[in-house]
Amino acid sequence: MQQADDTKELKSSGYEIFILLISILSVFNLLIQFVPRVSEEVTDVARLIDGLLIVIFMADFLYRFFTAESKSHYFFRNWGWADLLASLPFPQARIFRMFRIVRVIRLLREHGGKQMIGEVLRDRAGSALYLTVFTVFMLLEFGGMAILRAELDAPGANITTAGDAVWWGLVTITTVGYGDYYPVSSSGRLIAMVVMVVGLSLFGVLTGFLATVFDPDEDESKSADDAIVGSDTSSQISEVKRLLAEQEKLAAAMRGQLAALEKLLSVSAETTGNGSESVQDSPA
């Protein structure tokens, strides 16, 4: 019974993997604050990104709560209360995000690795979107940390705070390029090149996802492919044999009709020829 409830609780495999990766990133942001050699500016970037992740955690809790068959069962027995506490903007509540990691890993393990990979491959567009969103968060955080370390002690630097670094990263990824913040050091410019290239790639993936969503022909062909892959092989062979037999019967009937038409034309030609000869032989 518990396993059946867990199966119902499982959303799409791509979504569950996305929540797992976001949860791991949030736990990393929590642990990095206790590393002694990490500068305060770098930990500020982690705190800022963690504040953005709270929005995703709250949205995930509301999504699971309102789509659960039994809201009380989800909240009290499937760690829904831990999801809610993990979504709150309090440092003490971040430890509850560990429950998310444990639960998602358990759900995916019970779901099965082969079935999970199959679902991800069938929903390539959705999985690519989740991966793109996660990569954006990764790029904002680690790109912001890297650019801040490179620019912090550079002469004439204008990227000196966590807010500056994250804002610069977002503007660079989206290729807007306001120019209000920019790297002045050689290492900072190298980091900017990497962020720009990855940002362009991410927007290419996002464009492909939107094209797939708004292209009905693509959706129909995808559904047809899924139906063919999911059907039984023996039933496909039987269906093909049945269609071939029907085509052979139809071809035989058409050959019979063609022979009858040829015979009718031959008789008509002979009758017409005999009639012409009788007219010629009659006296004038």
Q: Which residues have a Cβ under 8 Å from the Cβ of 168 and sit 6 or more positions away?
A: 144, 147, 159, 181, 182
Residue by residue, DSSP assigns 107-131 as HHHHH-HHHHHHHHHHTHHHHHHHH
Q: What is the DSSP letter of 34?
A: G
pTM value > 0.85: no
User: What pLDDT sits at residue 97?
Assistant: 85
- The rounded distance, in Å, linking the Cα atoms of 73 and 37 is 44
Residues 6 or more apart whose Cβ sits within 8 Å of residue 184: 151, 154, 155, 156, 157, 158
What is the distance between the alpha carbons of residues 7 and 171, in angstroms, rounded to a whole number? 40
Per-position pLDDT tens, the chain of length 284: 444 444 456 677 888 889 989 999 998 988 888 887 778 888 999 999 998 999 999 999 999 899 888 888 888 888 788 889 988 888 778 888 888 888 888 877 877 777 778 877 787 777 888 888 899 999 999 999 999 999 988 898 899 999 999 999 998 888 787 788 889 999 999 999 999 988 888 877 777 776 766 664 555 555 555 555 455 566 778 777 888 888 888 888 788 777 777 777 777 766 666 655 554 555 54
What is the helix (H) or strand (E) element at residue 86, kind and residue range?
A: helix 80-86
Residues 68 and 265: their CA atoms lie apart, in Å, by 75
Question: Locate tokens 């900017």: which residue?
Answer: 192
CA–CA dist 206, 212 (Å, integer): 10
Contact 130, 202 (CB under 8 A): no
pLDDT for position 4: 46
Q: Which two tokens stand for residue 131?
A: 């991966």
Distance of alpha carbon 130 from alpha carbon 52, whole angstroms: 16
pLDDT for residue 279? 46
At 227 the pLDDT is: 52
